[in-house]
Amino acid sequence: MPKDHAPKDRGIGASSRRREDVRFLTGTGRYTDDINLHGQAHVAFVRSDVAHGRINAVDTEAAAAMPGVLRVFTAADFASAGGIPCGWQVTDRHGAVMKEPKHPILADGKVRHVGDPIAAVVAETYEQARDAAEAVVVDIEELPAVIDMKAAIEDDSPLVHDDLGTNLCYDWGFVEDNKAKVDAAFKAAHHVTTLELVNNRLIPNAMEPRVAVGDYAFGTGDHTLYTTSQNPHVIRLLMGAFVLGIPEHKLRVVAPDVGGGFGSKIFHYAEEAFVTFAAKALRRPVKWTCQRSESFMSDAHGRDHVTKIELALDAEGHFQAIRTETYANMGAYLSTFAPSVPTWLHGTLMAGNYKTPNIYVNVKAVFTNTVPVDAYRGAGRPEATYQLERVIDMAAREMGMDPIELRRKNFVTEFPYETPVAVVYDTGDYHATMDKLIEIADFAGFEARRAESAKKGLLRGLGINCYIEACGIAPSQLVGQLGARAGLYESATVRVNATGGVVVMTGSHSHGQGHETSFAQVISEMIGIQEDQVEIVHGDTANTPMGMGTYGSRSIAVGGSAMVKAATKVIDKARKIAAHLLEASDADIELKDGKFSVAGTDKSVEWGAVTLAAYVPHNYPLDQIEPGLEETAFYDPSNFTYPAGAYACEVEVDPDTGKVTVCRFAATDDFGNIINPMIVDGQVHGGIAQGIGQALLENASYDADGQLLSGSYMDYAMPRADDVPFYTVDHSCQTPCTHNPLGVKGCGEAGAIGTPPAVVNAVVDALQRAGHTHVTHIDMPLSPARVWAAMQTN
Amino acid sequence: MTKVSMRVNGRPVSAEVEGRTLLVQFLREGLGLTGTHVGCDTAQCGACVVHVDGRATKACNVFAMDCDGAEVATIEGMAAPDGTLSPIQQAFQDHHGLQCGFCTPGMVMSAAALLDENPRPTEAEVREYLEGNICRCTGYHNIVKAILAASGQPVAVAAE
């Protein structure tokens, strides 16, 4: 992809201002909750207030008689519907497929977590529905709940799903054939560092709560679902084919402006199926708007791993082997991609940026009486990075080595590099990102800053770490072998209008990432027209080709590649038209700055004249090509992409209170080529804040009975503006991806992956420097109470 | 039902509302001003911030009937009638101070109230003032920059 001729004010590499912003800044965006259909009714769900119980009876009589109530639904109404499906089947280390429980739309027989929907009241107004929901009488026999993962797989544990006979979803080993070699390497090792840690459970908390509006046209039998989704085609397929039995051509799914997702809006949720079903049953549009307190107990949560990691080293500090044992919480049901997160998105990343010849990862996925857990920004990769980068820091300290030098000694330096955990890094330069980090984070000035902190009575520490991630998911055939029940290609249609403007219909979905701007920049670059001549359409199954949506930092790498492929077909056809108009050979035609010209001559024709000819084919090679200028392409990547980088965090710890303040944060990322540097910076900023949130503030906390203690913004500590500093970010180290046409890698998750270990390493460093040498680890979130307690145990 | 009258973005409006109708419901459902968003139910997130008689107010936390006679300003009234963005709105675009856009109306309304009170705030003052506005996308970096820039203080332009 040529970029040398791009003027700085447009095309690839320009920080083009976002066109999305005008509607969002003027209150004229159209989010799902802004959609109100004529005659719509509203639903309120009756949700379980206990974590585990047997439903003896649901008495809806009083509720049904309340003002405005149209109907009260219970599980019995969904006897003919399928359960909410899981999109990934993991095979365990013994060759058995995972345990897969049924996930009903409304709880059937048992409730399995606080928030499990039991009944649904549809009424004329939302207030009436809520009032009536209060009048539904649910007789539940409360059962002992199981919250702790290790307790859940003891023989005497209560069972979340009685019919499965166990709470163990799977016991996965990776790579199982490596296990003996890994064990032998540990026996022979000079030094072994062992660390047990918790990757704390998080609640994604996109600022827009989920909303779903179902509509049914009786005259045609057409269903429409408006929903807050990152992937409307996936919802259409899952809900249509597996839950409600509606063929795709009778079901349209629209995800309009969506207010953030971070993974939580990938999944197909019961409420979507409910409103679609109820709209037909009642012949009225039915709308559900999630309250925030409801979203805390119904949106899929993230992370929640408990891990023991061991790192074996030789006397010089070369990594010899890694062995891990992880318990991964699935919650009460399997959410759409839940089984893949602790396995293929986690185990395959355990090599990190390092040459470690022997790796074995064991993951036990466990059902508990908690909200289902699924992908949240980074999804498996933050968990891998956190344990690896924490144990390396600890090993450096134990062996008296510099943590940067220990990492450098083990960096992968030759590419392609095949790890022992089944992935092939195509390109990277980890020394370069580390060198750049040392420069932009001003390591040289650290001691002076530490002295300044000391004058204030504060303990300053510096933490660094590296990360690598696998993005641009994913090669469909590979993930099919690994258990995915979906393809992971992407699609685009490039439609050129008669007067030269371009509309791109993409299967990717933007919910904050700015695709309408950055995708247009790519087309602008390819054709040489202004960005405002390009429109990007997404989020509606009725007018975009079947695509898989946005997650896993895949949009520009996979969706962008599909668009480039379709645009290339368009340009190739336009070149033939131009050749005809210029009476020259195709091979001699060049496209530059929106003009086709004959090489070596001054003969040329404007882009707009060619596109007009395509639709007004009076002088046109109709014997060779069809009229029109519109092409569709599907792109299936041949490999993942591997963004990588190095992060540094400086903290001050108040020794009296344990409060941690992040003073400085620097990130160097290698994302390959960059389309819009401004947008890329913004993606990293947001990821860093979520990473700081995980490290210091956020925790989805359950009590022993399964009550969610952090069920509102008063209890769940979201990062606020004064919890974070300005960040220094750099992405000038660029090793372009070798296998996609733009050379891009994806940037959406890096910040959330790279940040937590940097923060924790910094706090441990601060305490170590202050003489608390026994403090080698503190579990996240590093609340003042935990940090203070750690300091007291000396 | 109670009759309530107020001026919203300079336009007089009146309607019958239930006692429990929140100002944000009145704006969104009654007047179709859907720019004001609801992001939580505990008055924490700030997506619903509007100005009531010039003061930044969480519209989810005040009844419509309590705003009888009030002057209410929402995000829809911030740009000039010809569509020209206000300096704060323009700064948010120039500095990439928004991503998904959901918290943005509340952020802009809070920023406007801040700059009314304190025309040249420090970085720390901006951050402290935004305590009641949660953003999940931007990490606040570019929001703080945009507000400092809108106050006329020198700030590096985004990604340059």
Domain assignment present for residue A167? The answer is no
Domain assignment present for residue A197? The answer is no
CATH number of A111's domain? 3.90.1170.50
Whether the per-residue pLDDT at A1 is higher than 60: the answer is no
B2-77 sits in which CATH class? alpha beta
Whether the per-residue pLDDT at A4 is higher than 50: the answer is no
Of residues B101, B139, B145, nearest to A724 (C-beta): B139
A56–chain B Cβ distance below 8 A for any pair: no
A271–chain B Cβ distance below 8 A for any pair: no
The verdict on A103 and A81 lying in the same domain is yes
The verdict on A624 and A662 lying in the same domain is no
Helix (H) or strand (E) holding B57: strand B55-58
pLDDT for A634-689, tens place per residue?
Answer: 999 999 999 999 999 999 999 999 999 999 999 999 999 999 999 999 999 999 99
- For the record, the structure tokens of A706 come out as 């399964």
Of residues B103, B134, B139, nearest to A713 (C-beta): B134
pLDDT on residue B155: 86
**B96 contacts on A by Cβ (under 8 Å):** 18, 678-679, 681-682
- Report helix, strand or coil for A694: helix
Domain assignment present for residue A402? The answer is yes
pLDDT on residue B84: 97
Domain assignment present for residue A572? The answer is yes
Whether the per-residue pLDDT at B151 is higher than 90: the answer is yes
pLDDT on residue A9: 81
Q: Closest Cα of chain B to A230: distance in Å?
A: 12
- For the record, the structure tokens of A77 come out as 């109404």
Say whether the peptide bond before residue A719 is cis (omega within 30 degrees of 0).
no
The verdict on A273 and A285 lying in the same domain is yes
Whether the per-residue pLDDT at A19 is higher than 50: the answer is yes
Q: Which of A258, A242, A171, A251 is nearest to A209 (CA)?
A: A258
Which residue in the block uniquely carries the two structure tokens 């056809």?
A573
- DSSP state for residue B59 in the 8-state scheme: T
Asked whether A770 and A459 are in contact (CB, 8 A), the reply is yes
A130–chain B Cβ distance below 8 A for any pair: no
- For the record, the structure tokens of A647 come out as 């992060």
The verdict on A664 and A578 lying in the same domain is no
A748–chain B Cβ distance below 8 A for any pair: no
Whether the per-residue pLDDT at A154 is higher than 80: the answer is yes
Q: Do B34 and A33 touch (CB under 8 A)?
A: yes
pLDDT on residue A243: 97
Whole-number percent of chain A with pLDDT over 70: 99
A357–chain B Cβ distance below 8 A for any pair: no
- Report helix, strand or coil for A701: coil
Q: Closest Cα of chain B to A535: distance in Å?
A: 18
Q: How many Cβ atoms are within 10 Å of B69's Cβ, its own excluded?
A: 10
A54–chain B Cβ distance below 8 A for any pair: no
A697–chain B Cβ distance below 8 A for any pair: no
Of residues B99, B128, B135, nearest to A722 (C-beta): B128
Domain count, chain A: 3
CATH number of A539's domain? 3.30.365.10
Whether the per-residue pLDDT at A7 is higher than 80: the answer is no
Domain assignment present for residue A196? The answer is no
Whether the per-residue pLDDT at A793 is higher than 90: the answer is no
Of residues A208, A677, A713, nearest to B102 (C-beta): A208
The verdict on A419 and A537 lying in the same domain is no
**A25 contacts on B by Cβ (under 8 Å):** 75, 78-79, 85, 89, 92-93, 98, 101, 104, 108
Show me where the domains of chain B are located: 2-77, 87-150
The verdict on A434 and A526 lying in the same domain is no
Q: Which of A592, A607, A635 is the last residue of a domain?
A: A635
- Per-residue pLDDT averaged across A410-433, rounded? 97
Q: Do A257 and B85 touch (CB under 8 A)?
A: no
Q: Do A680 and B108 touch (CB under 8 A)?
A: no
The verdict on A514 and A610 lying in the same domain is yes
Domain assignment present for residue A183? The answer is no
- Alpha-helix runs per DSSP H in A583-658: 607-615
Of residues A25, A26, A31, nearest to B102 (C-beta): A31
A179–chain B Cβ distance below 8 A for any pair: no
The verdict on A617 and A655 lying in the same domain is no
Range of the domain at A45: 32-143+209-258+265-296
Q: Which of A590, A606, A635 is the last residue of a domain?
A: A635
**B137 contacts on A by Cβ (under 8 Å):** 207, 260, 512, 682, 686
Give me the sign of the Cα torsion angle A258, A264, A267, A268: negative
pLDDT band at A5; cut points 50, 70, 90:
very low
Whether the per-residue pLDDT at A786 is higher than 90: the answer is yes
pLDDT for A747-769, tens place per residue?
Answer: 999 999 999 999 999 999 999 99
A45–chain B Cβ distance below 8 A for any pair: no
pLDDT for A266-286, tens place per residue?
Answer: 999 999 999 999 999 999 999
The verdict on A343 and A292 lying in the same domain is no
pLDDT on residue B160: 40
Whether the per-residue pLDDT at B31 is higher than 50: the answer is yes
A434–chain B Cβ distance below 8 A for any pair: no
Q: Do B74 and A726 touch (CB under 8 A)?
A: no
Report the alpha-carbon angle A163-A167-A168, nearest 5.
115
Q: Do B98 and A24 touch (CB under 8 A)?
A: yes
A686–chain B Cβ distance below 8 A for any pair: yes
Whole-number percent of chain A with pLDDT over 90: 98
A16–chain B Cβ distance below 8 A for any pair: no
Asked whether A236 and A545 are in contact (CB, 8 A), the reply is no
Give me the sign of the Cα torsion angle A481, A327, A642, A556: positive
Q: Quote the ipTM score.
A: 0.97
- Per-residue pLDDT averaged across A704-722, rounded? 97
Q: Do B93 and A681 touch (CB under 8 A)?
A: no
A11–chain B Cβ distance below 8 A for any pair: no
Whether the per-residue pLDDT at A8 is higher than 80: the answer is no
Sheet holding A534-537, edge to edge: A534-537, A502-506, A490-496, A630-635
The verdict on A77 and A131 lying in the same domain is yes
Q: Closest Cα of chain A to B5: distance in Å?
A: 22
Q: Name the CATH topology of B87-150.
A: DNA polymerase; domain 1 (1.10.150)
pLDDT on residue A794: 60
Whole-angstrom distance, CA of residue B124 vs CA of residue A87: 46
Whether the per-residue pLDDT at B157 is higher than 90: the answer is no
Q: Closest Cα of chain A to B102: distance in Å?
A: 5
Sheet holding B49-52, edge to edge: B11-17, B2-8, B71-73, B49-52, B55-58
Domain assignment present for residue A78? The answer is yes
Whole-angstrom distance, CA of residue A690 vs CA of residue A377: 9
Of residues A25, A679, A724, nearest to B85 (C-beta): A25
Q: Do B42 and A292 touch (CB under 8 A)?
A: yes
- Report helix, strand or coil for A302: strand
pLDDT on residue A305: 98
Question: Chains A and B: how many Cβ contacts under 8 Å?
Answer: 197
**A20 contacts on B by Cβ (under 8 Å):** 101
- Report helix, strand or coil for B20: coil
Of residues A30, A258, A719, nearest to B100 (C-beta): A258
Closest A-chain CA to B141: A726
Domain assignment present for residue A166? The answer is no
The verdict on A244 and A309 lying in the same domain is no
- For the record, the structure tokens of A265 come out as 């809006």
The verdict on A612 and A561 lying in the same domain is yes
